[in-house]
Amino acid sequence: MATESEIRFQFNERKATAAAAYLIGRIGRSVGRLKLMKLLYMAERESLKQFDRPMIGDAYYSLPRGPILSRTLNLMKKPEDGEGFWQEHLAAEGFNVVLRKDPGIAELCDADIQILDHLLATFKDWHGNALAELTHEEFPEWQDPRGSQLPIETRRLLRLLGKTDEEIEESGADAADSERLATRDP
């Protein structure tokens, strides 16, 4: 029996930066890393649920404090490890992410902004710990990694979001097409 290949979306540092900056700019100059990560994960999840596509295209993991976007979290901790767009616009200050320079919204589509605005309207005043608890209780894809980390398989996440096998296969094909385009020689 053939096993299904994992769906891997193409990570977009520019969109991750623009989405993070959009949230930070509407919350304040600085946002705690935990709160920002939970909001970005929720945005990614909602984009998959509503539009069958990710907003950022990251890899998903369960960590003790809830689900995360792996590469985005790495940028939050060590901005210098990215391609430079994040570091140009955002900085790490302790456990906070600070807006250095607004990248604007050119990287975000109307649907992205709609999702981010909805999350801000609902969770702007929530603390990071409360958002982490919410993701533990409300997001069945999160599994307690017992002090470590566990990958959240995209196919499983899509199934939990109510996607059909056909929709999941289409998402996988779209992800593969994006990967081929991104790695094609100019």
What average pLDDT does range 4-31 have in this prediction?
94
Tens of pLDDT, residue by residue over 99-146, are 999 999 999 999 999 999 999 999 999 999 999 999 999 999 999 999
6 — pLDDT class (breaks 50, 70, 90): confident
What average pLDDT does range 25-38 have in this prediction?
96
Tens of pLDDT, residue by residue over 66-107, are 999 999 999 999 888 889 999 999 999 999 999 999 999 999
| Contact criterion met (CB below 8 Å) for 23 and 120 | yes
For the cut 60, the answer to whether the pLDDT of residue 36 exceeds it is yes
pLDDT at 2: 41
pLDDT at 82: 83
Burial of residue 119 (CB within 10 Å: 0-12, 13-18, 19+) is: buried
| Contact criterion met (CB below 8 Å) for 123 and 39 | yes
Element (H, E) at 60: strand 60-63
43 — pLDDT class (breaks 50, 70, 90): very high
* Structure letter (DSSP) for residue 7: P
Q: What's the rounded Cα separation, in Å, for the pair 146 and 2?
A: 31
